[in-house]
Structure 1
Amino acid sequence: MSVRTGPDTVDLADPALLRDPHGAFARMRERAPLVRAVLPDAGTPVWLATRYDDVRTVLGDTRFVNDPAHVPGTDVSGIRERLIRARGIPPEYARYLLDGILDADGDDHLRLRRLVSRAFTARRVAELRPRVEEITEGLLDRLAAAAEDGVADLMEHLAYPLPITVICELVGVPEPDRPRWREWGRTLFSMRPVEMGAVVRDMVEHIQELIARRRAAPADDLLTALIRVHDSEDGRLSDTELVTMVLTLVVAGHETTAHLIGNGTAALLAHPDQLALLRREPELMPRAVGELMRWCGPVLMARMRYAAEDVELAGVPVRRGEAVMAVLAAADRDPREFGEPDRLDITRETDGRRERHVGFGHGLHYCLGAALARQEGEVALAALLRRFPGLALAVAPEELERERQQLPGMWRLARLPLRL
């Protein structure tokens, strides 16, 4: 079943949208609560939800499911499956991108989430903080040493290495293998068709090798724990789920955090009043990281959801089987929820203990690693500002180069040259 289309249908591959997604999504948000859009290569249009309340509904209402197989009474083909296969990924490897925790619903999702959730509790993350600080200080030493004429690339020397080191240590990926994960993650998020098939194959084969090594030599890491669950008699984790879990944790655990650090640093340096305030009042750092997630978070759009039944969303009928994408970047700048939403304000009030922004999602699929990402962001930014009091952008903000992408799913810097 496909969404009705018309002359106002948005092309998500439009170069103008890819260049300025925040501006384009803002115009859509003010035009209508739901906007029709078409994904390249997928063949089936989707609804875009752009307003804050509607985005939270799509993310939190169980009538919207991640797996199209859970839409009863219809033969709904998965748009993501067609997109992935259009990128040259053969079916035997596509399942590792389609059958994991991010696409599971209901009991399956809860089963998979429980297997790893203890590694990401607030207490466990707090215990990791000294190690995160140690890694950060070492990376900042290398950042300074790598500077040429006082300029160094933050993405290369801190924003990527920090989260990939932390998540790989947590999961159990050996140090010599970690540089490959950075390149694999970059290719996956760029969705370049020429490379994706080979990259997914290499990742799966690498994880299978890691599993074999850990079976022979168990360690105190998450991979060993997952192998024990897989090898137990109750069958709580299949072969595919084990590989997919590792792939998801490592890629999602470093790509988004790397660009939170990169986008956040660039935003602060482009707003000297906010930077000066944060230097004067470093205790504002947790609130600042939350505001940076709202204002320039790395994830622009959430994963596809499907209406499991006929639903009315913002007064618009969404038919059973139709696809909906929640635009997080539009919701987080919705003037219906945030005063002066386009202004970066690190003193912005929170709603008690509730996180108002939806940069980490909402509902059952709320980001499992949110506490770890926040901590890494806080540690990285605090140490960076402390170590380099004269820190500045080496180019004008409008000259910063963004990663090229096929769809406006992520807001990613290719490089972040800083004058130390």
Structure 2
Amino acid sequence: MSTSPPVPDSGLDAEPHARHPDLMADPFGGYGRLRERAPVVHGRYLDGTPAWFVTRHDDVRALLHDRRLVNTPASVPGASGDDPRLKMMDMLAIPEELRPYLLGSMLDTDPPEHTRLRKRVLREFTARRVMDMRPRIEEIAGRLLDALPQQTVDGVTDLLAHYAYPLSIQVICKLVGVPEADSDKWQQWGEDLIAMRPERLATSFPAMIEHTHRLIGKRRADLSDDLLSGLIRGQDAAEGGISDMELVTFVVTLVLAGHETTAHLISNGTAALLSHLDQLAHLRSDPEGMPGAVHELMRWCGPVQTSRLRYAAEDLEIAGTRIPRGDAVLLVFVSANFDPRRYTDPDRLDLRRHPSGQAENHLGFGHGIHYCLGASLARLEAEIAFGSLFDRYPDVGLALEPAELERRERMQLPGQWRLTALPVVLQPGRP
């Protein structure tokens, strides 16, 4: 099995490594120190790839729109040599014939291919389709909340395992058209991939790809009103049609990425609210402020903390630093979202920071052409998840001190901030 590259023993004053303990254990503080040291710092990514870390809000936001940064190394003019992303494929022991299903997603493509794929998907992944999911999301949330007392051991319930995860996977499966009976299977496949378990991926990843091909075949024979059926109907379009491989890749990406990040937005946000009871009290007194509260929670404790590696398609300058063509660039959302140049008192959780009706002013969902495709669904799920939880169990509280909550090793999912569990005491209020 492949092993991870060694991590330098030097501190952050030297060339920072994304796996340095100061950045792994406390990315908020660690990347914040880098931000205040310089707007651009040369370091190394999780797999050892040399990369330029961009840490300040305005620079990160501008670069998310900059077409001179590309997601695919092959898009760099004159590119030669091995694709650095293959290091991760080798680490995960993904068979060569299946690697296009990971490397060919919209997350890893550039215009014009990215434009074609995203345009086609957005014809079906509409705001109306998302809003039509509200009754179903509310029903799933209510059912899971009603079942929580049966998931209690010694008075403690794990909200991540029994609420955030099943809510997010069932919602995304319903939207896409994955049978509800298969949702547990998809959650396990996602866990294998996210945890970077080569010994399990050897069987689970091929099984997931084969399963998705079969699902597309079944849906093609019996079209419905789900997202997958809509994409199948449009496959033969004269302009913008997508192949079966692209369709499989999209389903895999949407289901796995969609449920994982949303589950941890819900769990991170719940932990934050239960650790800041004054903010929770404000939210309860002003439920109309829920959309703004979700934006602030995404800024303050969102699960996505860095971009994927991007590459300079030409020589460019970022905040006075020259970046040679072909070099890797890491956009650090967690430091940008806490930049005092952009936010007043950024370390403070303030649910009133994002007034209703104002444009999104954080980078938790990214920006530009790679802005999170499922952002509107994630926000809706979070709003319903928080509102339903605190309505059903108004006296819910953490079973541990906030500092005792355990986080998963960030090497398992690059750039993510995730709890291992969210133990709570329900203490439901009297009817």
Same fold (TM over 0.5): yes
Give the aligned residue type for 2:398: L
Residue 214 of structure 1: aligned partner? 219
Alignment pair present for 1:10 and 2:16: yes
Alignment pair present for 1:88 and 2:89: no
Give the aligned residue type for 2:36: E
Residue 274 of structure 1: aligned partner? 279
Q: Which moved more, 1:356-365 or 1:171-180?
A: 171-180
Residue 50 of structure 1: aligned partner? 55
Cα displacement (A) at 1:192 = 3.3
Residue 331 of structure 1: aligned partner? 336
Cα displacement (A) at 1:54 = 1.3
Residue 366 of structure 1: aligned partner? 371
What is the SS of the residue equivalent to 1:10?
Answer: coil
- Note if contact 2:120-2:240 (Cα within 8 Å) is conserved in structure 1: no
Cα displacement (A) at 1:111 = 1.3
Separation in structure 1 between the aligned mates of residue 392 and residue 405 of structure 2, nearest angstrom:
23
Residues 290-345 of structure 1: CA deviation (Å, up to 9, x unaligned): 00000000001111111111110011001111110111111101111011111100
- Note if contact 1:38-1:45 (Cα within 8 Å) is conserved in structure 2: yes
Cα displacement (A) at 1:172 = 0.9
Cα displacement (A) at 1:231 = 5.0
Give the aligned residue type for 2:85: R
Cα displacement (A) at 1:247 = 0.4
Cα displacement (A) at 1:350 = 4.9
Separation in structure 2 between the aligned mates of residue 285 and residue 279 of structure 1, nearest angstrom:
9
Cα displacement (A) at 1:129 = 1.1
Q: Number of residues paired by the alignment?
A: 415
Q: 1:260 aligns with which of 235, 259, 265?
A: 265
Residue 429 of structure 2: aligned partner? none
Give the aligned residue type for 1:355: E
- Note if contact 1:10-1:36 (Cα within 8 Å) is conserved in structure 2: yes
Change (3 A) 1:30 1:141: same
Residue 142 of structure 1: aligned partner? 147
Residue 314 of structure 2: aligned partner? 309
Residue 29 of structure 1: aligned partner? 35
Give the aligned residue type for 1:34: V
Residue 416 of structure 2: aligned partner? 410
- Note if contact 1:159-1:258 (Cα within 8 Å) is conserved in structure 2: yes
Give the aligned residue type for 2:21: P
Separation in structure 1 between the aligned mates of residue 399 and residue 363 of structure 2, nearest angstrom:
31
Separation in structure 1 between the aligned mates of residue 81 and residue 325 of structure 2, nearest angstrom:
9
Separation in structure 1 between the aligned mates of residue 362 and residue 108 of structure 2, nearest angstrom:
22
What is the SS of the residue equivalent to 1:102?
Answer: helix
Give the aligned residue type for 2:300: W
Change (3 A) 1:227 1:175: same
- Note if contact 1:102-1:365 (Cα within 8 Å) is conserved in structure 2: yes
Separation in structure 1 between the aligned mates of residue 223 and residue 199 of structure 2, nearest angstrom:
37
Give the aligned residue type for 1:19: A
Q: Percent identity?
A: 53
Change (3 A) 1:385 1:119: farther
Separation in structure 1 between the aligned mates of residue 273 and residue 70 of structure 2, nearest angstrom:
37
Separation in structure 1 between the aligned mates of residue 44 and residue 394 of structure 2, nearest angstrom:
46
Residue 323 of structure 2: aligned partner? 318
Residue 186 of structure 2: aligned partner? 181
- Note if contact 1:8-1:36 (Cα within 8 Å) is conserved in structure 2: no
- Note if contact 1:289-1:377 (Cα within 8 Å) is conserved in structure 2: yes
Unpaired runs of at least 5, structure 1: none
Alignment pair present for 1:299 and 2:304: yes
- Note if contact 2:133-2:175 (Cα within 8 Å) is conserved in structure 1: no
Separation in structure 1 between the aligned mates of residue 114 and residue 305 of structure 2, nearest angstrom:
23
Q: 2:138 aligns with which of 133, 141, 158?
A: 133
What is the SS of the residue equivalent to 1:367?
Answer: coil
- Note if contact 1:76-1:321 (Cα within 8 Å) is conserved in structure 2: no
Residue 151 of structure 1: aligned partner? 156
In the superposition, the TM-score normalised over structure 2's length comes to: 0.91
Change (3 A) 1:316 1:362: same
Change (3 A) 1:233 1:351: closer
Separation in structure 1 between the aligned mates of residue 61 and residue 201 of structure 2, nearest angstrom:
31
